[in-house]
């Protein structure tokens, strides 16, 4: 049986290791991709330090970019040699931090000459999908695809708050809203990101560390909320920290009919806290929500339940917006190391430290020098 190396977590807080895992031959509409770049993601830390959605030994990563090396007999849109990026998550064969993944073709977008570097594309899929799915499905915003010529959303001036727009998920959300024409987008982020976020389409930017942030945002939106000028508030919490995002949002989003969507898990304590990482899955219980406010947890793996998004989000919407320059990937920082294990371990340590700000860590999985046999 053919095998290949995979970064694997063997238990909670255990050092990462490399093991050889079976290489799945693509069936039906599956493609086999040699993974060249992966992003480091907060989920890596949640899995290794808290066992979130982990069954040890657990291979890590749900996003990446690489080259198609084999296709199943029913594949329609991809060919051997295509460069692709993808968000893949069904099973162990689809984890990104391994030399080969085998996954259905709808989980990939094709990287063309106008998409920029493969390493830059590797950052995109998970967080773009999360943002698009949340804005369209959970917050019920008007994002038709393809966007009709001269399109204006029916609630064009509805106030929409993106909490944590400095994050990878958040910065895609702001750009998506601009593309579809929403005009009253408010964001929270460190001040150093405000200029860039306004260029992406944010109308107002607030520093989430400001002790008066609840009053500042409430005052800003009072002109719009409930005035008939766009109606109630929509909030996308891209951070979901019990203390530093959910608590203030619960005080801001109080008008009945408002909708809050927040990515899971709820972070009670981050990994950088001396008390250690502590997570919760109970969004409703982790803040005092006002009556009449809808609160939706987001697990982006669920986007495939929407058949249109399943078929179009990665191969079509994401790939097209990136090629058009309507969506800009995050600034990237390359994590180097002499071996696959060294790169993965370094990336994990930086993610744990909580120092990533306005950038994405990316690192190489397959390299010709380290793995010439693949």
Ligand X SMILES: NC(=O)c1ccc[n+]([C@@H]2O[C@H](COP(=O)([O-])OP(=O)(O)OC[C@H]3O[C@@H](n4cnc5c(N)ncnc54)[C@H](OP(=O)(O)O)[C@@H]3O)[C@@H](O)[C@H]2O)c1
Q: Which residues bind ligand X (CB under 6 A)?
A: 41-43, 126-127, 130, 163-164, 166-169, 188-190, 193, 208, 238-239, 241, 244-245, 263-264, 298-300, 356-358
Query: Rounded to the nearest whole angstrom, what is the least distance from the CB of residue 124 to ligand X in the complex?
Result: 11
2-33 CB burial, b ≥16 within 10 A, e <16: eebbbbbbeeeeeebebeebebbebeebbbbb
Q: Residue 71's closest CA among 79, 83, 82? A: 79
Query: Rounded to the nearest whole angstrom, what is the least distance from the CB of residue 152 to ligand X in the complex?
Result: 29
Alpha helices in 142-272 (DSSP H): 168-179, 194-200, 213-221, 247-252
Query: Rounded to the nearest whole angstrom, what is the least distance from the CB of residue 374 to ligand X in the complex?
Result: 28
Query: Rounded to the nearest whole angstrom, what is the least distance from the CB of residue 25 to ligand X in the complex?
Result: 29
Q: Residue 150's closest CA among 173, 185, 181? A: 181
Cβ proximity to ligand X: between 169 and 217 the closer is 169
Cβ proximity to ligand X: between 64 and 164 the closer is 164
Alpha helices in 180-296 (DSSP H): 194-200, 213-221, 247-252
Cβ proximity to ligand X: between 24 and 194 the closer is 194
Query: Rounded to the nearest whole angstrom, what is the least distance from the CB of residue 288 to ligand X in the complex?
Result: 18
Query: Rounded to the nearest whole angstrom, what is the least distance from the CB of residue 318 to ligand X in the complex?
Result: 14
Cβ proximity to ligand X: between 232 and 238 the closer is 238
Cβ proximity to ligand X: between 86 and 230 the closer is 86
Strands lying side by side in the sheet with 3-9 = 17-22, 3-9, 58-59
Q: Are 119 and 362 in contact (CB under 8 A)?
A: yes
Cβ proximity to ligand X: between 6 and 277 the closer is 277
* CA distances to 126, 231, 316, 363 from 65, in Å: 11, 41, 16, 11
Q: Are 272 and 354 in contact (CB under 8 A)?
A: yes
């Amino acid at each position: 049986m053919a095998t290949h190396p995979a970064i694997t977590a063997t238990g909670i807080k255990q050092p990462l290791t490399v093991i050889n895992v079976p290489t799945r031959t693509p069936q039906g509409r599956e493609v086999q991709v040699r993974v060249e770049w992966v992003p480091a993601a907060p989920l890596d830390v949640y899995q290794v330090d808290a066992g979130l959605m982990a069954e040890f030994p657990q291979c890590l990563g749900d996003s990446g970019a690489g080259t198609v090396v084999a296709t199943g007999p029913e594949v329609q849109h991809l060919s051997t040699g295509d460069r692709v990026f993808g968000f893949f998550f069904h099973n162990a064969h689809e984890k990104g931090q391994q030399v080969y993944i085998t996954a259905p073709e709808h989980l990939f977008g094709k990287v063309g000459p106008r998409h920029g570097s493969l390493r830059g594309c590797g950052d995109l899929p998970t967080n773009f999908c999360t943002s698009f799915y949340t804005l369209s499905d959970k917050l019920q915003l008007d994002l038709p695809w393809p966007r009709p010529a001269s399109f204006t959303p029916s609630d064009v001036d509805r106030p929409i708050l993106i909490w944590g727009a400095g994050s990878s998920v958040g910065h895609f959300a702001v750009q998506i809203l601009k593309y579809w024409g929403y005009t009253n987008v408010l964001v929270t982020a460190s001040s150093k990101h405000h200029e860039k976020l306004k260029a992406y389409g944010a109308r107002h930017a607030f520093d989430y560390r400001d002790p008066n942030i609840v009053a500042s945002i409430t005052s800003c939106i009072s002109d719009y909320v409930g005035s008939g000028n766009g109606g109630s508030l929509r909030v996308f919490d891209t951070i979901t920290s019990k203390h530093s995002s959910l608590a203030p949002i619960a005080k801001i989003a109080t008008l009945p009919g408002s909708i809050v969507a927040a990515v899971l898990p709820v972070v009670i304590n981050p990994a950088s806290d001396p008390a250690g990482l502590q997570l919760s899955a109970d969004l409703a219980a982790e803040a005092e929500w006002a009556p009449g406010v809808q609160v939706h947890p987001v697990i982006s793996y669920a986007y495939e339940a929407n058949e249109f998004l399943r078929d179009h989000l990665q191969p079509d919407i994401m790939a097209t917006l990136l090629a058009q320059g309507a969506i800009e990937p995050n600034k990237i920082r390359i994590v180097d190391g002499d071996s696959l294990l060294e790169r993965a371990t370094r990336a994990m340590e930086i993610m744990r430290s909580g120092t990533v700000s306005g950038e994405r860590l990316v690192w190489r999985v397959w390299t010709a020098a380290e793995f010439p046999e693949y």
